Structures are given as structure tokens and as C-alpha cells.
Structure 1
Amino acid sequence: MIDRHSLLALNFYKKSPFTGSDGNMRYRVEKIEFPIPDTEDEKEVKLQATIWPGPFAFAKTDEEKMTRQTADFSEEGLCALVDWLNEKQPEF
């Protein structure tokens, strides 16, 4: 089971993605940015969690084996991703 504290502080994600595993499930949490339509260079910042089956690394896994979920770039968003990761873990 993944708990909130194992995913580091929210500020960590401003600069780097975080990868981990729980059983056979591998996961990556990172900051992503989406352009906001009808604005000049403004972007919406979100957190994204990606899961895939082990034992392979993120870069060595086919895209079709990955599942993604996004959430607000906030403490609440990070907690929502923890809940999502724990819901998905039994599938692996």
C-alpha cells in the first residue's frame, strides 16, 4: 500500500518526476503542463500518475501497457493520486 508520505513533498515535483513500485505495479508521478487555449504562453499545471506492470522501467515499457491519471497540482491532488494508485494496485 502506498501512503502519502512515500511520495515526497509537493515542491519536489516542480523539478523532477518520482518513480516507485508496489508489488508488481510500477508508478511515476510528475508535473505536466497543458497550454490554456486563447492565451499567450499560459499553462495549466497538473500532476500526473502513470502506472505499468513490472519489472520494466518507464522508458522500456510500451505505451499501451501504461495507464494515466491527472489531478490538480496541490496537496489534495497528490492525495487523490495516492488513492488512485492504491485502487489500481490489485490489478497487478
Structure 2
Amino acid sequence: MTTGRETMRARMKATAGLWSFHTVDEVTLHETADPEVAIAEFRVHGRITATGEPFALTYINVIRVVHGLIVSSRDYGNPQESLTLRTALAAPIA
């Protein structure tokens, strides 16, 4: 879970440049009993920057918004898809 603006910025900055996203599809938004919480399912498509290799990842994202600001974000991804991406990234990073 990522909590707080600076933590979220650091998380995004740490992976900047490793990949680029070009499409999001299969988006489903779920209603919740808590008006501060949004749940979204989606699939993102992109390319690994170093190799140009395409990838697609499926996620569920749980976001808490307070006074118009995201205060926490939890991402749940498909572990098999994530392993494929990590394996593809290992060579360019090493």
C-alpha cells in the first residue's frame, strides 16, 4: 500500500523510464459503501523502454480520496503477468 503524496511520488519516480503505457482497457468501476473509496479493475498495455517488448498487466486498484486528494492507493496485479514483466526487465536492468 502506498500512503501519502511523497511516498506515491517516490514510488512512481523509482520506475520512471522503465516502461511506457499506451492503452488502458477492460475498465470496470465498482461501487462501494464508503464514498471515499473507489475500486477499479483494468488492463494496461505498454512497452518495455529498453527492449520495445510489449506487455499487458491486469490490475485492481483501491483508492481512498479525501477532500479531492488521493491519500492511499493499493494495487493488486496478476502475479503471473508481473513475473513475466520482471523477467523481461531483468536483462536490461542488470
Larger strand proportion of the pair: 2
- Structure 1 length-normalised TM: 0.38
Larger helix proportion of the pair: 1
